[in-house]
Amino acid sequence: MMELDTDKIIFTGPVGAGKTSAIAAISDAPPVSTDVMCTGNERNIKDTTTVAMDYSYIKLDDSNRIHLFGTPGQERFSFMWDILTRGGLGLVLLINNDHPNPIAQMDLYLDAFSNFIEETGVVIGITRTGIHDKVGIEQYQQHLFSRNQIYPVFEIDGRSTDDIKILLQALLTVLDYQ
Amino acid sequence: MTISSLGLTDIDQQVLQVASKILAEENCRFMLSNNCDASVNIVIIDHDHLQSHDFLTQVNNEQITILYTNEDIKRKNLVALQKPVRVNTLKDVLLKAYLHLRAQQQYTNKARTSEENAAGNSMTSTANTENLFHLLLKTKQNRECLRINYPEQITLLINAVDRAAATNMDSANLHKLFDYPLENCDNHNISPETFNQQDPSFKLHTLDNLLWLAALHLSSGELLPGHCTDTPVRLKAWPNFTRQGFKPVYFKLATMLARKSMSLCELAEQTKTSITDVINFYNAAFAIDLIETNNAVSNMPKRKTMKNTNKSTLLDMLAKRLRIG
Q: What ipTM does the predicted assembly reach?
A: 0.89
Q: Is the Cβ–Cβ distance between B165 and B207 less than 8 Å? A: yes
**B314 exposure class (CB count in 10 Å sphere: 0-12, 13-18, 19+):** middle
Say whether pLDDT at B118 is over 60.
no
* Residue from A32, A23, A35, A22 nearest A66 by CA: A23
Q: Alpha-carbon distance A144 to B275, whole Å?
A: 28
| Chain Cα centroid distance, residue B171 | 26
Q: Alpha-carbon distance B256 to B252, whole Å?
A: 6
Q: Is the Cβ–Cβ distance between B169 and B202 less than 8 Å? A: no
Q: Residue B119: which pLDDT band, with cuts at 50, 70 and 90?
A: very low
Q: Is the Cβ–Cβ distance between B85 and B15 less than 8 Å? A: yes
Three-class HEC string of A61-79: CCCCEEEEEECCCCHHHCH
- pLDDT tens for each residue of B30-89: 888 777 776 788 889 888 887 777 777 776 767 788 989 888 777 777 888 988 899 988
- Whether residue A150 and residue B236 make contact (CB cut-off 8 A), yes or no, is yes
Q: Which amino acid makes up residue B177? A: L
pLDDT score, position A171 = 95
Q: Which amino acid makes up residue B50? A: L
Domains of chain B: total: 3
Which of B235, B241, B305 is facing A119, going by the closest CB pair?
A: B305
**Where is the domain boundary, B216, B242, B274?**
B216
**Residue A103 contacts B, CB cutoff 8 Å:** no
pLDDT score, position B306 = 46
More confident residue, B137 or A2: B137
Clarify whether residues B155 and B237 are in a common domain.
Answer: no
CA dihedral B110, B113, B115, B118 (to 10 degrees): -130
pLDDT score, position B54 = 75
Nearest-Cα distance to chain B for A32, in Å, is 21
Q: Residue B122: which pLDDT band, with cuts at 50, 70 and 90?
A: very low
Clarify whether residues B75 and B141 are in a common domain.
Answer: no
Residues B190-197 have a mean pLDDT of 91
> Which residues does chain B have within 8 Å of residue A161's beta carbon, measured at their own beta carbons?
none
**What residues pair up with B262 in beta bridges, in sequence order?**
B233
* Residue from B247, B182, B184 nearest B213 by CA: B247
* Residue from B1, B5, B25, B27 nearest B15 by CA: B5
pLDDT score, position B96 = 81
Q: Residue B120: which pLDDT band, with cuts at 50, 70 and 90?
A: very low
Clarify whether residues B147 and B208 are in a common domain.
Answer: yes
Q: Residue B123: which pLDDT band, with cuts at 50, 70 and 90?
A: very low
pLDDT score, position B104 = 66
Query: Which of the 8 DSSP states describes residue B256?
Result: H
Peptide bond into B84 cis (omega under 30): yes
Q: Residue B115: which pLDDT band, with cuts at 50, 70 and 90?
A: low
- Whether residue B254 and residue A177 make contact (CB cut-off 8 A), yes or no, is no
Say whether pLDDT at B106 is over 70.
no
Residue B121 resides in a domain: no
Listed in sequence order, the residues at least 6 apart from B172 whose beta carbon sits closer than 8 Å to its beta carbon are none
Say whether pLDDT at B121 is over 50.
no
Residue B53 resides in a domain: yes
Mutate to test the interface with A, among B205, B242, B243, B249 (most CBs of A within 10 A): B242
Residues of chain A with pLDDT under 70: 1-6, 34-52, 131-132
Residue B147 resides in a domain: yes
3-state DSSP assignment of residue B45? strand
CATH code for the domain in which residue B260 is found: 1.10.10
* Residue from A124, A129, A169, A164 nearest A147 by CA: A124
List the domain range (segments joined by +) for residue B298.
222-322
pTM: 0.74
Say whether pLDDT at B135 is over 50.
yes
Listed in sequence order, the residues at least 6 apart from A52 whose beta carbon sits closer than 8 Å to its beta carbon are A34, A72, A77, A80
Compute φ and ψ for B232, nearest 5 degrees.
-65, 130
Q: Alpha-carbon distance B44 to B15, whole Å?
A: 12
Say whether pLDDT at B107 is over 90.
no
pLDDT score, position B53 = 76
Listed in sequence order, the residues at least 6 apart from B313 whose beta carbon sits closer than 8 Å to its beta carbon are none
For chain B, the average pLDDT equals: 83
Clarify whether residues B187 and B208 are in a common domain.
Answer: yes
Clarify whether residues B188 and B249 are in a common domain.
Answer: no
